[in-house]
Structure 1
Amino acid sequence: MAIDHDARRRHIAEIAIDVIAAEGIGAATIRRIASEARFSTAAVTHYFASKQELLVWSFAVLSAQGDARFDQAFVEHPDDPVHALLTFTAWCPANIRRWRAYLAFWDAAARDEGLAAIIRDATAAGIADIARLLRATYGEGHDLAKASRLLNSIVQGISLQAIVAPQDWPVEIIRTTLAEGIAAALAGARLTGS
Protein backbone atom coordinates (compact mmCIF):
# COMPACT_ATOMS: atom_id res chain seq x y z
CA MET A 1 0.00 0.00 0.00
CA ALA A 2 1.33 3.42 -0.95
CA ILE A 3 2.00 5.95 1.80
CA ASP A 4 0.02 9.18 1.60
CA HIS A 5 2.86 11.59 2.32
CA ASP A 6 0.62 14.67 2.56
CA ALA A 7 -1.58 12.91 5.11
CA ARG A 8 1.46 11.87 7.10
CA ARG A 9 2.82 15.45 7.11
CA ARG A 10 -0.58 16.73 8.30
CA HIS A 11 -0.69 14.03 10.99
CA ILE A 12 2.74 15.02 12.26
CA ALA A 13 1.71 18.69 12.22
CA GLU A 14 -1.49 17.92 14.18
CA ILE A 15 0.56 16.18 16.85
CA ALA A 16 2.96 19.13 16.95
CA ILE A 17 0.02 21.52 17.34
CA ASP A 18 -1.37 19.43 20.21
CA VAL A 19 2.00 19.47 21.99
CA ILE A 20 2.49 23.20 21.36
CA ALA A 21 -1.03 24.02 22.59
CA ALA A 22 -0.55 21.96 25.73
CA GLU A 23 3.08 22.65 26.62
CA GLY A 24 4.53 25.34 24.36
CA ILE A 25 7.00 25.46 21.49
CA GLY A 26 9.90 24.20 23.60
CA ALA A 27 8.16 20.86 24.11
CA ALA A 28 7.68 20.32 20.37
CA THR A 29 11.00 18.62 19.69
CA ILE A 30 11.46 16.25 16.77
CA ARG A 31 12.04 13.42 19.25
CA ARG A 32 8.86 14.25 21.21
CA ILE A 33 6.71 14.57 18.08
CA ALA A 34 8.09 11.29 16.72
CA SER A 35 7.30 9.56 20.01
CA GLU A 36 3.74 10.94 20.12
CA ALA A 37 3.21 9.90 16.48
CA ARG A 38 4.75 6.48 17.12
CA PHE A 39 7.29 7.14 14.39
CA SER A 40 11.05 7.07 14.48
CA THR A 41 12.83 10.42 14.54
CA ALA A 42 14.15 9.48 11.07
CA ALA A 43 10.57 9.21 9.82
CA VAL A 44 9.77 12.71 11.09
CA THR A 45 12.99 14.20 9.72
CA HIS A 46 12.15 12.60 6.37
CA TYR A 47 9.26 15.09 6.21
CA PHE A 48 10.75 17.95 8.23
CA ALA A 49 14.50 18.57 8.08
CA SER A 50 14.45 20.71 11.22
CA LYS A 51 12.28 21.78 14.10
CA GLN A 52 11.91 25.19 12.42
CA GLU A 53 10.52 23.57 9.28
CA LEU A 54 8.10 21.53 11.41
CA LEU A 55 6.98 24.69 13.24
CA VAL A 56 6.42 26.62 10.01
CA TRP A 57 4.40 23.76 8.53
CA SER A 58 2.40 23.33 11.75
CA PHE A 59 1.56 27.03 11.84
CA ALA A 60 0.44 26.82 8.21
CA VAL A 61 -1.85 23.89 9.08
CA LEU A 62 -3.20 25.78 12.09
CA SER A 63 -3.91 28.88 10.00
CA ALA A 64 -5.52 26.84 7.22
CA GLN A 65 -7.89 25.27 9.75
CA GLY A 66 -8.94 28.70 11.00
CA ASP A 67 -9.40 29.98 7.45
CA ALA A 68 -11.51 26.97 6.49
CA ARG A 69 -13.79 27.37 9.51
CA PHE A 70 -14.21 31.09 8.78
CA ASP A 71 -15.01 30.48 5.10
CA GLN A 72 -17.51 27.75 5.97
CA ALA A 73 -19.28 29.97 8.52
CA PHE A 74 -19.32 32.86 6.05
CA VAL A 75 -20.97 30.67 3.38
CA GLU A 76 -23.43 29.04 5.81
CA HIS A 77 -24.59 32.33 7.36
CA PRO A 78 -23.77 35.16 4.94
CA ASP A 79 -26.09 37.59 6.76
CA ASP A 80 -24.57 36.96 10.21
CA PRO A 81 -21.05 38.41 10.41
CA VAL A 82 -20.85 37.53 14.11
CA HIS A 83 -21.12 33.84 13.21
CA ALA A 84 -18.03 34.08 10.98
CA LEU A 85 -16.08 36.20 13.48
CA LEU A 86 -16.87 33.70 16.20
CA THR A 87 -14.74 31.15 14.33
CA PHE A 88 -11.72 33.40 15.02
CA THR A 89 -12.28 33.49 18.80
CA ALA A 90 -11.40 31.11 21.63
CA TRP A 91 -14.90 29.91 22.50
CA CYS A 92 -15.01 26.14 21.80
CA PRO A 93 -12.48 23.33 22.39
CA ALA A 94 -11.12 23.42 18.81
CA ASN A 95 -10.65 27.19 18.89
CA ILE A 96 -9.19 27.14 22.40
CA ARG A 97 -6.62 24.57 21.22
CA ARG A 98 -5.84 26.75 18.22
CA TRP A 99 -5.49 29.88 20.36
CA ARG A 100 -3.20 28.17 22.87
CA ALA A 101 -0.98 27.16 19.98
CA TYR A 102 -1.16 30.68 18.49
CA LEU A 103 -0.05 32.16 21.80
CA ALA A 104 2.95 29.81 21.90
CA PHE A 105 3.85 30.76 18.32
CA TRP A 106 3.50 34.48 19.10
CA ASP A 107 5.76 34.08 22.12
CA ALA A 108 8.41 32.38 19.98
CA ALA A 109 7.96 34.97 17.22
CA ALA A 110 8.99 37.71 19.65
CA ARG A 111 12.51 36.24 19.36
CA ASP A 112 12.39 34.69 15.88
CA GLU A 113 12.03 37.02 12.89
CA GLY A 114 11.19 34.11 10.57
CA LEU A 115 8.18 33.12 12.66
CA ALA A 116 7.26 36.77 13.16
CA ALA A 117 7.08 37.28 9.38
CA ILE A 118 4.84 34.24 8.99
CA ILE A 119 2.54 35.45 11.76
CA ARG A 120 2.38 38.96 10.28
CA ASP A 121 1.31 37.44 6.96
CA ALA A 122 -1.34 35.28 8.66
CA THR A 123 -2.63 38.29 10.60
CA ALA A 124 -2.86 40.33 7.39
CA ALA A 125 -4.81 37.48 5.78
CA GLY A 126 -7.19 37.38 8.76
CA ILE A 127 -7.75 41.13 8.55
CA ALA A 128 -8.43 40.76 4.81
CA ASP A 129 -10.99 38.04 5.62
CA ILE A 130 -12.71 40.39 8.06
CA ALA A 131 -12.75 43.16 5.43
CA ARG A 132 -14.29 40.74 2.91
CA LEU A 133 -16.95 39.83 5.48
CA LEU A 134 -17.74 43.48 6.21
CA ARG A 135 -17.86 44.38 2.52
CA ALA A 136 -20.27 41.52 1.79
CA THR A 137 -22.50 42.35 4.75
CA TYR A 138 -22.41 46.14 4.89
CA GLY A 139 -21.16 47.19 1.46
CA GLU A 140 -18.99 50.20 0.93
CA GLY A 141 -19.12 53.51 2.76
CA HIS A 142 -16.59 52.58 5.40
CA ASP A 143 -12.82 52.44 5.66
CA LEU A 144 -12.88 48.64 5.76
CA ALA A 145 -9.16 48.34 6.47
CA LYS A 146 -9.57 50.49 9.58
CA ALA A 147 -12.72 48.67 10.73
CA SER A 148 -11.12 45.28 10.10
CA ARG A 149 -8.00 46.11 12.11
CA LEU A 150 -10.18 47.17 15.04
CA LEU A 151 -12.31 44.03 14.80
CA ASN A 152 -9.19 41.87 14.60
CA SER A 153 -7.96 43.52 17.80
CA ILE A 154 -11.31 42.86 19.47
CA VAL A 155 -11.22 39.19 18.40
CA GLN A 156 -7.69 38.84 19.75
CA GLY A 157 -8.53 40.63 22.99
CA ILE A 158 -11.58 38.46 23.59
CA SER A 159 -9.57 35.33 22.87
CA LEU A 160 -6.69 36.25 25.17
CA GLN A 161 -9.13 36.89 28.00
CA ALA A 162 -11.19 33.77 27.25
CA ILE A 163 -8.08 31.58 27.45
CA VAL A 164 -7.27 32.70 31.00
CA ALA A 165 -10.83 33.38 32.27
CA PRO A 166 -13.22 31.19 30.24
CA GLN A 167 -15.91 31.52 32.91
CA ASP A 168 -16.09 35.24 32.11
CA TRP A 169 -16.47 34.67 28.36
CA PRO A 170 -19.34 32.29 27.58
CA VAL A 171 -20.29 32.18 23.92
CA GLU A 172 -23.29 34.46 24.45
CA ILE A 173 -21.08 37.25 25.83
CA ILE A 174 -18.56 36.72 23.04
CA ARG A 175 -21.33 37.00 20.42
CA THR A 176 -22.69 40.18 22.03
CA THR A 177 -19.22 41.72 22.28
CA LEU A 178 -18.48 40.89 18.65
CA ALA A 179 -21.78 42.49 17.53
CA GLU A 180 -20.98 45.61 19.57
CA GLY A 181 -17.46 45.57 18.13
CA ILE A 182 -18.80 45.48 14.58
CA ALA A 183 -21.08 48.44 15.28
CA ALA A 184 -18.26 50.43 16.91
CA ALA A 185 -15.75 49.56 14.19
CA LEU A 186 -18.13 50.60 11.41
CA ALA A 187 -19.17 53.80 13.22
CA GLY A 188 -15.54 54.77 13.66
CA ALA A 189 -14.68 53.93 10.07
CA ARG A 190 -17.57 55.66 8.29
CA LEU A 191 -16.34 57.56 5.28
CA THR A 192 -17.40 61.17 5.05
CA GLY A 193 -20.26 61.71 2.64
CA SER A 194 -21.55 58.15 3.18
Structure 2
Amino acid sequence: MPAIIDHAARRTALAEVAADLVATGGSEAATVRAVAAAAGFSTKAVTHYFPDKRALMLLTYRHAALSSKARTDASQPEGRKDVAALLHALLPTDPKVERDWRVWFSFWGLAIADPELAEEQRVRMRDFVAQIAAILAADPAFSHCAVADYPRIASALLAALIGIVTQVIFAPESWPPSAQAQAIDDLLARIANRAD
Protein backbone atom coordinates (compact mmCIF):
# COMPACT_ATOMS: atom_id res chain seq x y z
CA MET A 1 0.00 0.00 0.00
CA PRO A 2 1.52 3.38 -0.99
CA ALA A 3 2.33 5.87 1.76
CA ILE A 4 -0.19 8.64 2.31
CA ILE A 5 1.40 12.01 1.61
CA ASP A 6 0.12 15.21 3.18
CA HIS A 7 0.56 17.46 0.14
CA ALA A 8 -0.23 20.70 1.98
CA ALA A 9 2.37 19.90 4.64
CA ARG A 10 4.94 19.03 1.99
CA ARG A 11 4.34 22.30 0.11
CA THR A 12 4.71 24.21 3.37
CA ALA A 13 7.92 22.35 4.20
CA LEU A 14 9.33 23.13 0.75
CA ALA A 15 8.35 26.79 1.10
CA GLU A 16 10.18 26.88 4.46
CA VAL A 17 13.31 25.39 2.87
CA ALA A 18 13.10 27.83 -0.04
CA ALA A 19 12.65 30.75 2.37
CA ASP A 20 15.81 29.75 4.23
CA LEU A 21 17.73 29.58 0.95
CA VAL A 22 16.42 32.97 -0.20
CA ALA A 23 17.24 34.56 3.16
CA THR A 24 20.89 33.53 2.93
CA GLY A 25 21.52 33.65 -0.82
CA GLY A 26 18.80 35.67 -2.51
CA SER A 27 16.25 34.39 -4.99
CA GLU A 28 19.02 32.97 -7.19
CA ALA A 29 19.85 30.46 -4.45
CA ALA A 30 16.35 28.98 -4.37
CA THR A 31 16.51 26.81 -7.46
CA VAL A 32 14.30 23.75 -7.70
CA ARG A 33 17.43 21.60 -7.50
CA ALA A 34 18.76 23.42 -4.41
CA VAL A 35 15.40 23.19 -2.62
CA ALA A 36 15.19 19.48 -3.41
CA ALA A 37 18.69 18.87 -2.05
CA ALA A 38 18.09 20.92 1.11
CA ALA A 39 14.74 19.21 1.73
CA GLY A 40 16.07 15.73 1.09
CA PHE A 41 13.70 15.15 -1.82
CA SER A 42 14.33 14.32 -5.44
CA THR A 43 14.08 17.12 -7.98
CA LYS A 44 11.11 15.27 -9.47
CA ALA A 45 9.28 15.37 -6.13
CA VAL A 46 9.77 19.14 -5.93
CA THR A 47 8.67 19.74 -9.54
CA HIS A 48 5.46 17.89 -8.71
CA TYR A 49 4.56 20.92 -6.58
CA PHE A 50 6.49 23.63 -8.40
CA PRO A 51 6.92 23.25 -12.16
CA ASP A 52 9.48 26.05 -12.24
CA LYS A 53 11.35 28.53 -10.08
CA ARG A 54 8.72 31.22 -10.56
CA ALA A 55 6.04 28.99 -9.03
CA LEU A 56 8.40 28.14 -6.18
CA MET A 57 9.11 31.82 -5.46
CA LEU A 58 5.41 32.68 -5.60
CA LEU A 59 4.52 30.05 -3.03
CA THR A 60 7.50 31.02 -0.88
CA TYR A 61 6.36 34.64 -0.95
CA ARG A 62 2.78 33.66 -0.11
CA HIS A 63 4.02 31.50 2.74
CA ALA A 64 6.00 34.45 4.16
CA ALA A 65 2.94 36.69 3.77
CA LEU A 66 0.71 34.19 5.59
CA SER A 67 3.30 33.88 8.36
CA SER A 68 3.28 37.66 8.67
CA LYS A 69 -0.53 37.76 8.80
CA ALA A 70 -0.59 35.11 11.51
CA ARG A 71 2.01 37.11 13.45
CA THR A 72 0.05 40.36 13.20
CA ASP A 73 -3.25 38.67 14.07
CA ALA A 74 -1.63 37.10 17.15
CA SER A 75 -0.19 40.47 18.19
CA GLN A 76 -3.55 41.91 19.16
CA PRO A 77 -4.49 41.88 22.84
CA GLU A 78 -7.78 40.17 23.60
CA GLY A 79 -10.70 42.57 23.50
CA ARG A 80 -8.89 45.57 22.06
CA LYS A 81 -6.82 46.79 19.12
CA ASP A 82 -3.23 48.00 19.39
CA VAL A 83 -1.46 49.36 16.31
CA ALA A 84 1.89 49.49 18.12
CA ALA A 85 1.70 45.76 18.85
CA LEU A 86 0.86 45.09 15.20
CA LEU A 87 3.90 46.99 13.91
CA HIS A 88 6.23 45.63 16.59
CA ALA A 89 5.27 42.10 15.52
CA LEU A 90 6.78 42.81 12.10
CA LEU A 91 10.08 44.26 13.22
CA PRO A 92 12.95 41.92 12.30
CA THR A 93 13.99 41.31 15.90
CA ASP A 94 14.06 37.54 15.50
CA PRO A 95 15.42 35.32 12.71
CA LYS A 96 12.01 34.16 11.40
CA VAL A 97 10.73 37.70 10.89
CA GLU A 98 13.99 38.79 9.28
CA ARG A 99 13.87 35.75 7.00
CA ASP A 100 10.35 36.66 5.87
CA TRP A 101 11.46 40.21 5.07
CA ARG A 102 14.37 38.88 3.02
CA VAL A 103 11.92 36.71 1.07
CA TRP A 104 9.70 39.75 0.47
CA PHE A 105 12.63 41.85 -0.74
CA SER A 106 13.70 39.11 -3.13
CA PHE A 107 10.16 38.72 -4.42
CA TRP A 108 9.82 42.46 -4.98
CA GLY A 109 12.83 42.34 -7.31
CA LEU A 110 11.11 39.64 -9.38
CA ALA A 111 7.76 41.43 -9.34
CA ILE A 112 9.15 44.55 -11.04
CA ALA A 113 9.30 42.75 -14.39
CA ASP A 114 6.37 40.34 -13.98
CA PRO A 115 2.81 41.74 -14.11
CA GLU A 116 1.26 38.76 -12.31
CA LEU A 117 3.78 38.89 -9.47
CA ALA A 118 3.37 42.68 -9.34
CA GLU A 119 -0.37 42.22 -8.91
CA GLU A 120 0.28 39.73 -6.09
CA GLN A 121 2.44 42.38 -4.42
CA ARG A 122 -0.21 45.09 -4.87
CA VAL A 123 -2.89 42.90 -3.30
CA ARG A 124 -0.70 42.02 -0.30
CA MET A 125 0.24 45.67 0.28
CA ARG A 126 -3.36 46.83 -0.09
CA ASP A 127 -4.57 44.19 2.35
CA PHE A 128 -1.92 45.08 4.90
CA VAL A 129 -2.69 48.79 4.67
CA ALA A 130 -6.36 47.90 5.22
CA GLN A 131 -5.43 45.81 8.27
CA ILE A 132 -3.42 48.68 9.77
CA ALA A 133 -6.23 51.15 9.03
CA ALA A 134 -8.84 48.92 10.69
CA ILE A 135 -6.71 48.60 13.81
CA LEU A 136 -6.02 52.34 13.86
CA ALA A 137 -9.76 52.99 13.71
CA ALA A 138 -10.35 50.73 16.73
CA ASP A 139 -7.31 51.85 18.77
CA PRO A 140 -8.41 54.52 21.29
CA ALA A 141 -5.06 56.30 20.98
CA PHE A 142 -6.01 57.34 17.44
CA SER A 143 -9.69 58.19 17.95
CA HIS A 144 -8.96 61.86 17.26
CA CYS A 145 -8.11 61.07 13.63
CA ALA A 146 -10.75 61.53 10.95
CA VAL A 147 -12.06 58.25 9.55
CA ALA A 148 -10.99 59.31 6.06
CA ASP A 149 -7.40 59.72 7.30
CA TYR A 150 -6.92 56.14 8.53
CA PRO A 151 -5.94 54.66 5.13
CA ARG A 152 -3.43 57.49 4.51
CA ILE A 153 -1.92 57.11 7.98
CA ALA A 154 -1.80 53.32 7.57
CA SER A 155 0.02 53.67 4.25
CA ALA A 156 2.54 56.04 5.82
CA LEU A 157 3.07 53.64 8.73
CA LEU A 158 3.74 50.78 6.33
CA ALA A 159 6.21 52.94 4.42
CA ALA A 160 7.98 53.79 7.69
CA LEU A 161 8.06 50.13 8.70
CA ILE A 162 9.58 49.13 5.36
CA GLY A 163 12.15 51.91 5.72
CA ILE A 164 13.15 50.75 9.19
CA VAL A 165 13.37 47.13 8.08
CA THR A 166 15.49 48.02 5.06
CA GLN A 167 17.98 49.77 7.33
CA VAL A 168 17.96 46.88 9.80
CA ILE A 169 18.71 44.35 7.05
CA PHE A 170 21.63 46.34 5.64
CA ALA A 171 22.98 47.98 8.81
CA PRO A 172 21.92 45.75 11.73
CA GLU A 173 24.57 47.15 14.06
CA SER A 174 22.84 50.54 13.89
CA TRP A 175 19.40 49.10 14.56
CA PRO A 176 19.22 46.89 17.65
CA PRO A 177 15.72 45.73 18.62
CA SER A 178 15.33 48.59 21.11
CA ALA A 179 16.04 51.19 18.40
CA GLN A 180 13.54 49.54 16.05
CA ALA A 181 10.81 49.60 18.69
CA GLN A 182 11.65 53.18 19.67
CA ALA A 183 11.39 54.39 16.07
CA ILE A 184 7.90 52.89 15.73
CA ASP A 185 6.80 54.19 19.14
CA ASP A 186 8.07 57.71 18.41
CA LEU A 187 6.19 57.82 15.11
CA LEU A 188 2.98 56.56 16.70
CA ALA A 189 3.31 59.04 19.56
CA ARG A 190 3.57 61.92 17.08
CA ILE A 191 0.41 60.76 15.33
CA ALA A 192 -1.46 60.11 18.60
CA ASN A 193 -0.53 63.50 20.04
CA ARG A 194 -1.26 65.49 16.91
CA ALA A 195 -3.92 68.12 17.46
CA ASP A 196 -6.46 68.18 14.64
Q: Taking structure 2 as the reference length, what is the TM-score of the superposition?
A: 0.88
93-102 vs 151-160, greater mean Cα deviation: 93-102
Q: After TM superposition, which residue ranges in structure 1, 4 or more long, deviate above 6 angstroms?
A: none
| Structure 2: gaps (5+ residues) | none
Q: Does 1:39 find its partner at 2:33?
A: no
- Tell me which residue corresponds to 2:145: 141
Equivalent in 157, 171, 179 of residue 177 of structure 2 = 171
Percent of aligned pairs sharing the same letter: 33
CA distance in 1, matches of 2:191, 2:106: 28
- Does the CA-based 8 Å contact 1:89-1:156 persist in structure 2? no
CA distance in 2, matches of 1:124, 1:112: 18
CA distance in 2, matches of 1:77, 1:12: 36
CA distance in 1, matches of 2:61, 2:70: 14
Alignment of 1:106-125 (within 5 A): 106-125=108-127
CA distance 1:186–1:118, shift in 2 (3 Å) = farther
CA distance 1:184–1:77, shift in 2 (3 Å) = farther
- Tell me which residue corresponds to 2:67: 65
CA distance in 2, matches of 1:47, 1:79: 38
| Structure 1: gaps (5+ residues) | none
1:33: how far off? 0.8
1:114: how far off? 2.1
Supply the AA of the counterpart residue of 2:138. A
Q: How many residues align?
A: 190
Report SS of the residue matched to 2:74.
Answer: helix
127-136 vs 71-80, greater mean Cα deviation: 71-80
Q: Taking structure 1 as the reference length, what is the TM-score of the superposition?
A: 0.89
1:4: how far off? 0.7
Supply the AA of the counterpart residue of 1:167. E
